[in-house]
Amino acid sequence: MADHQARSGGDERPSGIPAIRWEEPPEGPVLVLLDQTRLPAEEVELVCTDAPALVEAIRSLAVRGAPLLGIAGAYGVALAAARGFDVPEAARSIEEARPTAVNLSVGVRRARAAHEAELA
């Protein structure tokens, strides 16, 4: 089940918050994304706890730009592994979120290969 929450940057946060970051709260690791669809009016973060949430963020264009897509794809595979989800299924769904995005595919494939090598 997709699980992401929006967090508003509000006035207390300086501008220039990272576009993506990994956090490890007590509930388990999360991927925090700057929702690029809300810029420049607002700085809103999306908190993704699973691959379906990341897929939704990618499809909705909250994550944009080739380099960021590659990083998000790799982090998505890592998130699936860290949370004990089906890594091949997560990788497939993330890669299919934007099938023409080469960097997304490269990031997903490299992270999946690293995960598989770790298991071998």
CA dihedral 71, 58, 5, 76 (to 10 degrees): -40
Q: What is the mean pLDDT of the chain?
A: 91
Instruction: Give the chain's domains with CATH numbers.
Output: 4-119 (1.20.120.420)
Tell me what the mean pLDDT of segment 23-32 comes to: 97
Helical spans, DSSP H, in 1-120 = 51-59, 66-82, 87-97, 102-119
- pLDDT tens string 55-82: 999 999 999 999 999 999 999 999 999 9
What global pTM score does this model have?
A: 0.88
Tokens found for residue 16: 């220039």
> Do 98 and 69 meet the contact criterion of CB atoms below 8 Å apart?
yes
